[in-house]
Structure 1
Amino acid sequence: MMVVDPDGVELPTIRELVDLARLDVVEIGCGDGRMTFGCAEQAASVLAFDSDEELVREARRSTPRALRDRIRFEVADAAEIELPPAEFDLALFSWSL
């Protein structure tokens, strides 16, 4: 099991810097949805994608029922995905290199 952000400061820091309320967010390299779920608690919508199909499948399975209408998970490579200009208010790229 990979431990990412062991101190748990990442999401609180983002929330401190950005008011996520009513924002449309794109998350590049969402992995298992760890950041996705935290953002979706406040954001209007989150498009989250990752190139690892198994991680995306796990994220979909783990999505809390209350957040399902705000999150869309896709399997896609960050180098190849085409996003419409000005569709998102915030882009997140965390631990994805």
Structure 2
Amino acid sequence: MTDLDTELRHLLADPSLPQQILTATASSLQSEDPFAPLTLDTLNATLDGVAYVLTDGVPVVVAMDATRRAAAVLPSIHPGETADAYALRLLTITRGL
């Protein structure tokens, strides 16, 4: 196998930046206050913080696009849903991307 083949397999195996943002958002929700009811403000703040960290050093247009794509697939929050329960649903969606 050539180096190009190896690199291509590596690129295809890596999750996309929006997937990484969603996975890290779910992880953060599960670790911060998993049993508290999730609010839209908390979700948005978590997503924004994660995206900021993960896209550091990436061109602004790429970072904005990845964050927008991640936000576009966020499911709505069910009434009274905990951060942990939401995170599990988010991980299920993320795996399907």
TM more than 0.5: no
1 or 2, which has the higher helix percentage? 2
1 or 2, which has the higher strand percentage? 1
Q: Could you tell me the TM-score, scaled by structure 2's length? A: 0.28
Q: Could you tell me the TM-score, scaled by structure 1's length? A: 0.28
Q: Which has the larger radius of gyration?
A: 2
